A and B are shown apart, each in its own frame.
Chain A
Amino acid sequence: DAGVIQSPRHEVTEMGQEVTLRCKPISGHDYLFWYRQTMMRGLELLIYFNNNVPIDDSGMPEDRFSAKMPNASFSTLKIQPSEPRDSAVYFCASSPRQGASEAFFGQGTRLTVV
């Protein structure tokens, strides 16, 4: 398996534009997590899914953020409209099951909103 695949790797956009980040989890993994990482706040959990169902979205900062998982092999995180304070590295991770199972991370998407 190629691991968790995120796209794009880098995104530069203007304030007010819509941004869509994509993630392909490892096949067979039941859990998918979206995190945001900044120097100031570290790695924050935004939302996570179990079997394509959102379980906890309490970390989503505002209504401008939304996430979907239409099937087991694909998830999106959308920001509309984007703001400069959304600039961060966004990570997607997947894990195979509940319990002490390792979460595997993608390479991240570095988002810059100017």
Chain B
Amino acid sequence: QKEVEQDPGPLSVPEGAIVSLNCTYSNSAFQYFMWYRQYSRKGPELLMYTYSSGNKEDGRFTAQVDKSSKYISLFIRDSQPSDSATYLCAILSSNTGKLIFGQGTTLQVKP
């Protein structure tokens, strides 16, 4: 079993839609949860991170963590064509520094 599972999609939505991206993880040793965004032919870039259960908002983006279920989500409100990218969840162990990623979900927002 992979330590982080993520549906690769692809996911296609119309502009303005609410997007929900999800991951599950298996190891409770990981304390930090991140979302990276990757545009075509570029390296991933950090979008958001959180370390506690609950929600964290940043503009149109909301990261949600449920540690009891080992489930993490990213919601995008009022999605824009510029949001079209691959979104990767990531988990980090602060004890070891190990950072691992889900497979990534490819999102296309159509105008």
**Residues of A participating in the B interface, judged by any CB pair closer than 8 Å:** 4, 31, 33, 35, 41-43, 45, 48, 50, 55-56, 91, 93, 95, 98-100, 102-103, 105-108
**Which of A4, A56, A93, A108 sits near B96, CB closer than 8 Å?**
A56
B residues in contact with A93, CB < 8 Å: 43, 99
B residues in contact with A105, CB < 8 Å: 43-45
With contacts A43-B88, A43-B104 taken as known, whether A103 is within 8 angstroms of B99 at the C-beta atoms is: yes
Kindly name the residue among B6, B44, B97 whose own CB sees the greatest number of chain A CB atoms within 10 A. Answer: B97
Q: How far is the CA of A102 from the CA of B95 in the complex (A)?
A: 15
Q: Are B101 and A108 in contact (CB under 8 A)?
A: no
B residues in contact with A102, CB < 8 Å: 46, 49
Instruction: Known pairs A31-B97, A42-B101; list 11 more (Cβ under 8 Å).
Output: A42-B104, A48-B97, A48-B98, A55-B96, A55-B97, A93-B99, A99-B32, A99-B94, A100-B32, A102-B46, A108-B43
Taking CB as reference atom, which chain B residue is nearest A102?
Answer: B46
The range of chain B's interface size is 20 to 34
- Looking at chain A's contact residues, the main secondary structure is strand
Ordered by A's residue number, 5 sampled pairs between the chains whose C-beta atoms are within 8 Å are A31-B97, A48-B99, A55-B96, A98-B95, A108-B41
Q: Give the distance to chain A from B54, nearest Cβ to Cβ, in Å.
A: 15
Q: Are A43 and B44 in contact (CB under 8 A)?
A: yes
Taking CB as reference atom, which chain A residue is nearest B102?
Answer: A42
Q: Are A100 and B94 in contact (CB under 8 A)?
A: yes
Q: How far is the CA of A95 from the CA of B94 in the complex (A)?
A: 12
With contacts A100-B32, A102-B46, A107-B43 taken as known, whether A43 is within 8 angstroms of B103 at the C-beta atoms is: yes
Q: Does B60 contact A (CB under 8 A)?
A: no
Q: How far is the CA of A23 from the CA of B94 in the complex (A)?
A: 24
